[in-house]
Structure 1
Amino acid sequence: MKTSSFLKKIAWGLVIFIGLSNAVSAQKIQVNGKVMLAADSSALPGVTIRIKNTNIGVVSNSQGNYTIQANIGDTLHFSFIGLEIQNIPVKERKLNVYLKEDEMVMEEATIVTGYGVTHHESAKFKLHSGMRIRGGAMPLAYTQNTEEYNKFAANRFLPALNEPLSTFSIDVDNAAYSNVRRFINQGTFPPVDAIRTEEFLNYFTYNYPAPQEKDPVSITTEVSNAPWNTQHKLVHIGIKAKEVSTDNLPASNLVFLIDVSGSMSDANKLPLLKSSLKLLVKQLRPQDRVAIVTYANHTKEVLASTPGSDKAKILDAIDGLYASGGTAGGDGIQRAYRVAESNFTKGGNNRIILATDGDFNIGISSPRELEKMIETKRTSGIYLTVLGFGMGNYKDNRMQVLAEKGNGNHAYIDNLTEAKKVLVNEFGGTLFTVAKDVKIQVEFNPAKVQAYRLIGYESRLLEAKDFNDDTKDAGEMGAGHSVTALYEIIPVGVKSNFAPNIDPLKYQKTEKNEKKMLTDSPELLTVKLRYKQPDSHKSSKMEVTVIDNNTPIKKSSENFRFSAAVAGFGMLLQNSDYKNNFTFDDVIDLAKQATNYDPEGYRKEFIRLVESAALLK
């Protein structure tokens, strides 16, 4: 009996020990440290730090510092072009890392000091700060942050009785989310003007029904309580563009317009840009064609239009790019349009893909001048996609202007995972337009709605008369794209400090029969949408009505809950007047209730990002 009792104690001890070991190994901690060059302990900005076998990662900042949430027992993967990769298990919160030179890369490197180029064939050299390495590491710290963002004021509540119409152009851009993610992963909060909530919402895919009729888009609506103010309602509007299989996509005439100026030399700029475009080249078909135009002090057609079947030739041209000189961006754009026009494919996808940090300083450089030039070119049927890279001098404001006025879209690429999302996973949506000049007009029923505010889309607002004006430019939707918009509503009868206080109108009286008609209608609002086919100048209209069925948020769809969580996150980062007592923990709880539909894992990544922001707060 004593032996049996003793053995039981040992068994229970082993169970407890194993349980505690597993608990320790699964403990989530915030790991921080500094990445340095082993040769001289200089800081390494732009190093990618990833949790191995996941898509979770961060980039070291300009001082080489990083912060990442990981579990004890995870392995951190440190990689930097030109340096040896290190895989280090997480054992404690502090982890400084020294990366050594990769001798295989260094032997064939080209050193670029300042704007001069010196070739060293099969010669080893010491890497130090102040050097640029073609195809290799660029461990340069930023001396000054000169990033630029357009200023805007968040939308306010408007009275439905006086202003019943809300009109805006759709926006499929998602650059703001990946850019803000970059700030948070580096351990800092982003500038307020970098937070465009609509681009947060549209970064993610939603489980919307595909169009069934002749229209290239479908409309989905839903109403529930606003999670940050339960007396208010939240209206969710989802637009889904039709899917088109790659085999059925029209032939592409692409021009890669690549910034190879000196400002692009850092590791997270031209080297990442080249790797990103290689992912796109692999998707090309024989009927597709690619030309490459570069700009620095001068513009150059590096590659004449080449069929997608000759991938080796295209990839060789990309490999041969290196950074030096000034930034004649305006001249580069003009030349790229000339190349695209000379190879125009009728009925095909004619598009310029501009890859840059947006820092133009030679020729046409002001946003207003660029805007006017792009507007004159967009009537040619050539679209403009803008891919942003880098940090420190990133010109987000110019990217927005170029993409919006060029009938294209804007993405920010901070790592290869994001490049894969934009150029591989969302290949059709990024490059192939199925509906153009898409705009939405919402009419609110003042018998049900006291006041409303559109969450985001501040730079996309239109006048009511613009909705029926087919000459008014609006946004484009690519194959498989989705667009999400949210309205926060103050119902009639709810007392709110946010409701506008306006005296009753003296000269505009509502007739009794009209008032009764409004009161009897169960409709909360009507959503109207206009679009044009890609080859048409005349718009078509779609229309749906929305009724509030008093659905509690716990019974709302995952689409609704996740979009509300994303909007709440944007409000917290903006320190919005409307956030009330909503917290990062509330965002996390809401998002965790909406992860069943997460084909690429982006929703789970969002939760990790919010957790990181909460720790910073």
Structure 2
Amino acid sequence: MKNLVLFLSFVLFGINTIAQHTLKGVVYDDQNQPVPFANVMIKSITDDQLIKGQTSDLNGAFLFERISESKVKLVVSSVEFEPYEKTIDFKKESTVEVEVHLKAGAKLEEVMVISRKEVHKVQSVSAYKMSSANVVSASYGYAGGSIGNYNPNYNTEAYDHIEENGYKSVTKEPLSTLSIDVDRASYSNVRRYINDGQLPPKDAVRVEEMINYFSYDYETPYGNTPLKVTTTYTTCPWNTNHNLVHIGLKSKEIDMDEAPSNNLVFLLDVSGSMNNPDKLPLLKKGLGLLVNEMRPDDKVSIVVYAGAAGVVLEPTTGKNKEKILESLNNLSAGGSTAGGAGIKLAYKLAKENFMKNGNNRVILATDGDFNIGASSDGEMVELIESKRDDGIFLTVLGFGTGNIKDSKMEKLADHGNGNYAYIDNILEAKKTLVNEMGGTLVTVAKDVKFQLEFNPTHVKEYRLIGYENRLLEAEDFNDDTKDAGELGAGHCVTAIYEIIPAGSSESHTDIDPLKYQEEHDSENAHTDELLTVKVRYKLPDEKKSTKLELPVKANRIDFSQTNEDVRFSAAVAAYGMLLRDSKHKGESTYEMVMKLARDAKGEDRDGYRAAFVQMVDMTQLLDKRDS
């Protein structure tokens, strides 16, 4: 018996030893400089299947632990470098350290030259196949030159004009109706401007996207309801005569290991305008992070568009990550921008490979420049709307500077059952595509709308902060054919109303008293209810909406007594108003914003709130309007 115990101990010890192999190292270029965000994989020697994958950190380092195989193949790849392979043998030692030195790869020289006549001819066919090695660079130079030319110093960024929301009289307009918004693009775009040492254009500042960039610890839904609403009625920190109504919406969270399988089509802009480090190279590294998170049953296809649109990668499962990464790494920019043809082809591919119980999504990554084919906002929106009823959702990722078509990309996302994010650096790519992958990729509710009815007994006038391009007519709330916002898994949505209490002598509405209507003529007006919040939503595969209704009591608490989420989101709202130089900013200052944000920073596990405070500090130094 004793011998049997000893034998089993040796066996278990041997198994445990095998399971504890570690591989660590650093990736360098041929100048001995660290290469961050390189794709690092270990594969099976016997069948070449992927075992584990990751990207190197900012110092080029990587670490694999608990490797059970005694021998593996190390494969490293990165943009503009030749692939690297090495066999790692753990027989002699349980921990192996390596230095990977990548050699610069030969740049592709082939040039895609397509005349205007030829472009139209190519676009007249449904699609054509191209290998990733043939998606190539074109020369670029002066703006306004021939097709395919691009001047990186020529700024054509475009933003829709925002007419800031004003106050509404409760007796004249008691209902406020809006589509929810989970886009975050405005925040990272504003950050890009601040980091570049300049204030953003006012129209680049969408306050609701600034607020919704952050996650909040709202109550999570339970049961079969995919969302839950929480409300707070409090004083206003930038105007002591006003109050705030804070509304938080939280969607249910999903364990991504148990989430539906993904059918993803990457629709990638490889036109000449993408030929900058903060565009196509960043795009490839960012999507590489997402690929490394893929499961075996997930599928990825890649469609590119430049002078024309083509399929670079047929549907490929997560078992072949190295093939997907190789296709990404081989892409290079050149040509003009046939965005319309690319969108049609991407949706066609997504529909052909549709997963009935899965997540079917097109991920469009671009600087937003659509200059050939369907190019006007109206045409592109019409095209996207025609595809959304197929059960295919849309994610739009914006990249780069000087050429960003923010207004167009926001419209595409809004009308295509989708969301829009702006990627200004690799950490933002990680936040959007890895940390918040559920919210970005998995839709739990669609066509989500808010409608608030204010009680004139307690509220004289109200103003919605932000959401200017998300406002709906009152009758749209009950109209199930009216498109509205989509809510991803684990998403938070925040809406803040600034209100003037009943009895105040202050008024911002210049409307004559109504002659034939009585004020406060309802018995319900004489209650302690401040307002009623109503929410409508549809499940992703349904066409009929469900309504939730929540009365809110007029029990106001002091702003200092509210929770961290209410105080931090109010700080971000005040910052947005300062950037827009809003006439409603009241006594807001950058110092006030920083103090509110610091005091409400909370756990801040990922450091986003601390980074916000730093950005506000930088803004104050740039903005001479606020001393």
- TM-score normalised to structure 2 length: 0.77
Match in the other structure for 1:264: 274
* Equivalent runs, 1:82-101 vs 2, <5 Å: none
State the shift of 1:401 in Å.
1.1
- Residues 1:536 and 2:545 aligned together: no
Equivalent of 1:232, from 235, 242, 267? 242
- SS of 1:575's equivalent in the other structure is coil
Equivalent of 2:511, from 486, 498, 502? 502
Equivalent of 1:547, from 553, 559, 574? 553
- SS of 2:345's equivalent in the other structure is helix
Match in the other structure for 1:460: 470
Match in the other structure for 1:108: 105
State the shift of 1:111 in Å.
6.1
- SS of 1:154's equivalent in the other structure is coil
**Structure 1 residues 332 and 517: CA distance shift in structure 2, 3 A:** closer
Match in the other structure for 2:585: 579
State the shift of 1:599 in Å.
2.4
Equivalent of 1:563, from 551, 560, 569? 569
Match in the other structure for 2:180: 170
Equivalent of 2:525, from 500, 518, 525? 518
Output one character per residue of 1:71-114: Cα deviation in whole Å (capped at 9) or x when no partner: xxxxxxxxx9879xxxxxxxxxxxxxxxxxxxx77742416698
Output one character per residue of 1:42-88: Cα deviation in whole Å (capped at 9) or x when no partner: xxxxxxxxxxx999xxxxxxxxxxxxxxxxxxxxxxxx9879xxxxx
C-alpha distance in structure 2 between counterparts of 1:344 and 1:130, whole Å: 38
C-alpha distance in structure 2 between counterparts of 1:359 and 1:292, whole Å: 19
Match in the other structure for 1:280: 290
| 4+ residue segments displaced more than 6 Å | 80-83, 113-116
Match in the other structure for 1:252: 262
**Structure 1 residues 354 and 563: CA distance shift in structure 2, 3 A:** same
Match in the other structure for 2:47: none
State the shift of 1:503 in Å.
2.2
Q: Which amino acid aligns with 2:530?
A: L
Equivalent of 2:330, from 317, 320, 328? 320
* Equivalent runs, 1:78-477 vs 2, <5 Å: 107-110=104-107, 142-477=152-487
- Whether the aligned pair in 1 keeps the contact of 2:205 and 2:580 (CA below 8 Å) is yes
Output one character per residue of 1:234-255: Cα deviation in whole Å (capped at 9) or x when no partner: 1100000000101221111100
Match in the other structure for 2:48: none
Q: Which amino acid aligns with 2:481?
A: T
Unaligned runs of 5+ in 2: 1-56, 60-77, 82-100, 114-138, 142-149
Output one character per residue of 1:322-362: Cα deviation in whole Å (capped at 9) or x when no partner: 00111100000000011011101101100000000010111
Match in the other structure for 2:611: 605
State the shift of 1:141 in Å.
8.2
- SS of 2:536's equivalent in the other structure is strand
C-alpha distance in structure 2 between counterparts of 1:504 and 1:515, whole Å: 18
C-alpha distance in structure 1 between counterparts of 2:58 and 2:459, whole Å: 45
C-alpha distance in structure 1 between counterparts of 2:314 and 2:109, whole Å: 27
State the shift of 1:510 in Å.
4.4
- Whether the aligned pair in 1 keeps the contact of 2:532 and 2:549 (CA below 8 Å) is yes
C-alpha distance in structure 2 between counterparts of 1:535 and 1:515, whole Å: 39
C-alpha distance in structure 2 between counterparts of 1:289 and 1:580, whole Å: 51
Match in the other structure for 2:597: 591
Output one character per residue of 1:473-499: Cα deviation in whole Å (capped at 9) or x when no partner: 111101101100000000012232x53
- Whether the aligned pair in 2 keeps the contact of 1:453 and 1:488 (CA below 8 Å) is yes
Q: Which amino acid aligns with 2:310?
A: K
**Structure 1 residues 113 and 334: CA distance shift in structure 2, 3 A:** closer
Unaligned runs of 5+ in 1: 1-52, 56-79, 84-103, 117-128, 132-139
- SS of 1:409's equivalent in the other structure is strand
**Structure 1 residues 276 and 346: CA distance shift in structure 2, 3 A:** same
**Structure 1 residues 607 and 242: CA distance shift in structure 2, 3 A:** same
C-alpha distance in structure 1 between counterparts of 2:461 and 2:109, whole Å: 59
- Whether the aligned pair in 2 keeps the contact of 1:113 and 1:130 (CA below 8 Å) is no
Q: Which amino acid aligns with 1:502?
A: I
**Structure 1 residues 221 and 426: CA distance shift in structure 2, 3 A:** same
C-alpha distance in structure 2 between counterparts of 1:300 and 1:111, whole Å: 18
C-alpha distance in structure 2 between counterparts of 1:407 and 1:536, whole Å: 13
- Whether the aligned pair in 2 keeps the contact of 1:202 and 1:482 (CA below 8 Å) is yes
- Whether the aligned pair in 2 keeps the contact of 1:440 and 1:529 (CA below 8 Å) is yes
- Whether the aligned pair in 1 keeps the contact of 2:79 and 2:329 (CA below 8 Å) is no
Q: Which amino acid aligns with 1:503?
A: D
Output one character per residue of 1:555-610: Cα deviation in whole Å (capped at 9) or x when no partner: 11111100100000000000000112310000000001111142211111100000
Over the matched positions of the two proteins, sequence identity in percent amounts to: 54
**Structure 1 residues 191 and 212: CA distance shift in structure 2, 3 A:** same
C-alpha distance in structure 1 between counterparts of 2:184 and 2:508, whole Å: 31
- Whether the aligned pair in 2 keeps the contact of 1:595 and 1:604 (CA below 8 Å) is yes
- Whether the aligned pair in 2 keeps the contact of 1:292 and 1:302 (CA below 8 Å) is yes
Q: Which amino acid aligns with 1:419?
A: A
State the shift of 1:545 in Å.
1.3
- Whether the aligned pair in 2 keeps the contact of 1:450 and 1:499 (CA below 8 Å) is no
Output one character per residue of 1:8-60: Cα deviation in whole Å (capped at 9) or x when no partner: xxxxxxxxxxxxxxxxxxxxxxxxxxxxxxxxxxxxxxxxxxxxx999xxxxx
C-alpha distance in structure 2 between counterparts of 1:503 and 1:182, whole Å: 45
C-alpha distance in structure 2 between counterparts of 1:232 and 1:112, whole Å: 63
- Whether the aligned pair in 2 keeps the contact of 1:384 and 1:409 (CA below 8 Å) is yes
Q: Which amino acid aligns with 1:575?
A: D
Match in the other structure for 1:93: none
- Whether the aligned pair in 2 keeps the contact of 1:490 and 1:499 (CA below 8 Å) is no
State the shift of 1:516 in Å.
5.6
C-alpha distance in structure 1 between counterparts of 2:111 and 2:157, whole Å: 22
- SS of 2:210's equivalent in the other structure is helix
**Structure 1 residues 542 and 335: CA distance shift in structure 2, 3 A:** same
C-alpha distance in structure 1 between counterparts of 2:484 and 2:323, whole Å: 37
Q: Which amino acid aligns with 2:478?
A: N
- Whether the aligned pair in 1 keeps the contact of 2:446 and 2:486 (CA below 8 Å) is yes
- Residues 1:481 and 2:469 aligned together: no
State the shift of 1:276 in Å.
0.3
State the shift of 1:515 in Å.
5.2
**Structure 1 residues 577 and 557: CA distance shift in structure 2, 3 A:** same
C-alpha distance in structure 2 between counterparts of 1:368 and 1:481, whole Å: 29
- SS of 1:310's equivalent in the other structure is helix
- Whether the aligned pair in 2 keeps the contact of 1:268 and 1:390 (CA below 8 Å) is yes
C-alpha distance in structure 2 between counterparts of 1:265 and 1:510, whole Å: 62
